[in-house]
Structure 1
């Protein structure tokens, strides 16, 4: 089963947006979330995708009308 990095990143970004305080705990929380968001985004775009399925199309007929 593959991880849903896009959803994980979305939720981390939502958590970051809710830490609106100017206190030290909120600032530290945003910094920690920044690191997590960066790690998840990196994983999201560097994990190899599964193999693509090749669909065979019928060949075009050489008969002209």
Structure 2
């Protein structure tokens, strides 16, 4: 089962917004949530590994380009 990073990020952002106080606990909690949101964003938009398929070199095309 894959993680739903977008939903997790939304919940963390809502928790961040709910901790709007100026007390030390709220500030530290927002800092911690900010780190978690950054980690979720990194995971959410990470490029998936893929296989790169090389194309065969075309000598005719290369020679035509150098003559232009």
State TM-score, norm by structure 1. Answer: 0.71
Partner of 1:52: none
Q: Distance in 2 between matches of 1:12 and 1:34?
A: 8
Structure 1 runs (4+) deviating above 6 angstroms are none
Q: Distance in 2 between matches of 1:20 and 1:31?
A: 12
Deviation string for 1:1-60 (max 9, x for gaps)?
Answer: 1100000000000000000100000000000000000000000000528xxxxxxxxxxx
Structure with bigger helix share is 2
Q: Secondary structure at the match of 1:2?
A: coil
| Unpaired segments ≥5 residues, structure 1 | 50-65
RMSD: 1.4
Report the CA distance shift for 1:45/1:3 in structure 2 as closer, same or farther (over 3 A).
same
